[in-house]
C-alpha cells in the first residue's frame, strides 16, 4: 500500500528540516572542537615551557568522570567515553605523539586494551615479551606501557607481578577488558579443522567447547591470540582461538562465536609510566610488600588497613624470585596515597613489614563494567 502523496510530502519536509538542524549542530560542534584543540595547544605550550609532564592520566579520567556524571542522555555514558577518548587523543596529538608499548603482535588483547585507553591517534608499538615492554618504558622508547596483571578466572599474571617488583615503574591507569574467544579459520566448516592454534590461557578458557567439538584436533601453543590467527592464516586445515580484530586483520572467517566456558571472563590491564597520577577522588593504590617469617606477621601487617578504615579490594601472594621461600603480597586498596586515610595506613603498614613498594595510585575502574571493544567489528567480519 503506497503512502498518500500529501503525507509523504509532509514526512519529507519534516526530515529535511531535521537534517538541516543537524547540519547546523555539526557546524557548531566543528567550531567548538577546533576551539578545544586551540586550548589544548596552549596547555601543551605552557607545559613545555615549564618543563611539566605532557601526559596527565588523572586529568583525562577526571574529564570522563565529570561528563558522565552530568550527562542527561540520550547519549549513553559508554558512547560519551568513546567519543571523548578520541577527542582527548586528538588533543594529545597536537601537543606530542603518545607512544604506547604493549605485548604484541598487533591485535592482541593488550593492543585492544591500549586502544581502549588512548584512542586511535596514539602510536602503538608491539614487543614480543613483557620484559621488552618494561624496557621500552624505562629506556624512554615509549611514554606508556600496557601490561596484563590479572584475569577474573585465572588470577594474577605472575611475570607482570615479578617485573613490577623488579623494575622502577609506576601504575597510572587501569582498565578491565571483556575477553571473548572465537574459532576462526580460512576453512568453511569446523569438520575440516585438524589443528588448533591458541594461547594456553585461551585453551583453558574454552576447554569444554574444545572437548566437545575439536576433540581430535592437535593443539599448537602460541604466544598470543594474534600469533594464533597468523598461524591459522597459513594453514587451510587450521583454526585459531582469537578475538574478532585479529580475525579481521588476518582475513579469517568466524566458524564459532563466543566459545569460552564462562561468559564473565575479564582481564585487568595496567598502564605504566614514569610519573605519578594525581588524585581524582575515585582512586586505587597498588602496593607490594613482604613480611617476616614469624607467626601472625601477615595479620599484624594487614591490621593497618582496618585501623585506618581503608578498604582492601585485592590480595594475592607470589613467590619472590629474588629470594627463595619468601613471598610477595600484592595488594590493592581504595584511595590515593597522597590523601588521608591511605597515607596514614601506608605509614602504619611500613612499620610492620620487611619491604614495602608503592606501585602507584591511579583512577579506579569498575570490574563489573568491562570494556567491550570487539562488538563494532563483529558485523564487519561476518559480512566479508
Global pTM exceeds 0.85: no
Task: Provide the mean pLDDT of the chain.
Answer: 88
pLDDT in tens, 57-91: 667 777 888 888 899 989 888 888 888 888 887 88
Contacts 24+ apart (CB under 8 A), 28-37: 33/87, 36/87, 36/91, 37/90, 37/91, 37/94
Taking domain 283-363, whether its CATH number is 3.40.640.10 is answered by no
**Alpha-carbon span 190 to 286, nearest angstrom:** 44
Q: Classify domain 182-262 at the CATH class level.
A: alpha beta
In this predicted structure, the answer to whether residue 4 has a pLDDT above a threshold of 80 is no
| Strands annotated E in the chain | 99-103, 123-127, 144-151, 155-156, 170-178, 182-185, 195-198, 218-221, 238-242, 253-256, 266-273, 283-290, 312-319, 327-334, 355-363
In this predicted structure, the answer to whether residue 382 has a pLDDT above a threshold of 50 is no
**Residues 6+ away with beta carbon under 8 Å from 16:** none
What Cα–Cα distance (Å) separates residue 378 from each residue in 157, 180, 185, 201, 245?
A: 28, 12, 15, 22, 8
300-328 average pLDDT score: 91
Half-sphere exposure at residue 365, Cβ-oriented, CA atoms within 13 angstroms: 22
**pLDDT reported for residue 150:** 93
In this predicted structure, the answer to whether residue 264 has a pLDDT above a threshold of 90 is no
More confident residue, 384 or 127: 127
- In the chain, the percentage of residues whose pLDDT exceeds 90 is 54
**pLDDT reported for residue 57:** 66
Q: Do domains 182-262 and 283-363 have the same CATH topology?
A: no
**pLDDT reported for residue 231:** 94
Q: Is the peptide bond preceding residue 74 cis, with omega within 30 degrees of 0? A: yes
**Alpha-carbon span 341 to 285, nearest angstrom:** 12
**pLDDT reported for residue 16:** 87
Q: Which of helix, strand or coil describes residue 373?
A: coil
Alpha-helix runs per DSSP H in 96-129 = 109-118
**Alpha-carbon span 218 to 140, nearest angstrom:** 42
**Domain ranges in the chain?**
1-52, 57-179+265-278, 182-262, 283-363
Taking domain 57-179+265-278, whether its CATH number is 3.40.190.10 is answered by yes
> What burial class does residue 384 get, using C-beta atoms within 10 Å of its C-beta: 0-12 exposed, 13-18 middle, 19+ buried?
exposed
pLDDT in tens, 107-165: 999 999 999 888 887 899 999 899 999 999 999 999 999 999 999 888 888 999 999 99
Q: pLDDT band for 383, please (50, 70, 90 cuts).
A: very low
Query: Any bridge partners for residue 337, and if so which?
Result: none
pLDDT in tens, 170-193: 999 999 999 889 999 999 899 999
Range scoring the smallest mean pLDDT among 32-36, 81-85, 194-198, 211-215: 81-85
Amino acid at each position: 500500500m503506497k503512502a498518500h502523496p500529501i503525507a509523504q510530502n509532509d514526512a519529507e519536509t519534516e526530515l529535511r528540516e531535521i537534517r538541516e538542524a543537524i547540519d547546523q549542530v555539526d557546524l557548531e560542534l566543528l567550531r567548538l572542537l577546533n576551539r578545544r584543540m586551540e586550548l589544548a595547544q596552549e596547555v601543551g605550550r605552557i607545559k613545555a615551557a615549564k618543563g611539566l609532564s605532557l601526559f596527565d592520566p588523572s586529568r583525562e579520567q577526571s574529564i570522563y568522570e565529570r561528563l558522565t556524571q552530568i550527562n542527561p542522555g540520550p547519549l549513553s555514558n559508554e558512547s560519551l567515553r568513546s567519543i571523548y577518548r578520541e577527542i582527548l587523543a586528538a588533543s594529545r596529538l597536537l601537543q606530542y605523539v603518545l607512544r604506547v608499548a604493549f605485548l604484541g603482535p598487533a591485535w592482541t588483547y593488550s593492543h585492544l586494551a591500549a586502544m581502549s585507553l588512548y584512542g586511535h591517534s596514539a602510536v602503538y608499538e608491539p614487543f614480543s615479551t613483557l620484559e621488552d615492554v618494561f624496557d621500552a618504558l624505562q629506556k624512554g622508547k615509549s611514554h606508556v606501557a600496557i601490561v596484563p596483571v590479572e584475569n577474573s578466572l585465572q588470577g594474577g599474571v605472575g611475570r607482570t607481578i615479578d617485573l613490577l617488583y623488579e623494575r622502577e615503574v609506576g601504575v597510572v591507569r587501569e582498565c578491565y577488558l571483556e575477553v571473548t574467544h572465537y574459532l576462526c579459520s580460512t576453512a568453511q566448516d569446523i569438520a575440516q579443522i585438524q589443528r588448533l592454534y591458541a594461547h594456553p590461557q585461551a585453551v583453558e578458557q574454552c576447554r569444554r567447547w574444545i572437548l566437545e567439538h575439536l576433540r581430535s584436533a592437535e593443539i599448537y601453543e602460541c604466544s598470543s591470540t594474534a600469533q594464533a590467527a597468523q598461524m591459522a592464516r597459513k594453514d587451510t586445515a587450521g583454526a585459531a582461538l582469537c578475538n574478532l580484530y585479529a580475525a579481521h586483520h588476518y582475513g579469517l572467517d568466524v566458524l564459532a562465536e563466543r566459545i569460552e566456558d564462562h561468559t564473565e571472563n575479564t582481564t585487568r590491564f595496567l598502564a605504566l609510566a614514569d610519573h605519578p597520577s594525581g588524585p581524582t577522588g575515585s582512586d586505587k593504590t597498588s602496593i607490594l610488600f613482604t613480611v617476616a617469617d614469624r607467626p601472625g606477621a601477615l595479620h599484624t601487617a594487614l591490621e593497618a588497613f582496618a585501623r585506618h578504615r581503608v578498604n582492601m579490594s585485592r590480595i594475592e601472594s607470589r613467590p619472590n624470585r629474588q629470594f627463595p621461600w619468601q613471598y610477595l603480597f600484592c595488594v590493592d586498596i581504595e584511595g590515593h596515597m597522597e590523601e588521608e586515610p591511605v597515607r596514614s595506613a601506608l605509614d602504619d603498614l611500613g612499620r610492620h613489614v620487611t619491604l614495602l613498594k608503592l606501585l602507584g595510585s591511579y583512577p579506579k575502574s569498575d570490574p563489573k563494567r568491562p570494556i567491550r571493544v570487539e562488538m563494532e567489528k563483529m558485523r564487519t567480519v561476518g559480512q566479508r
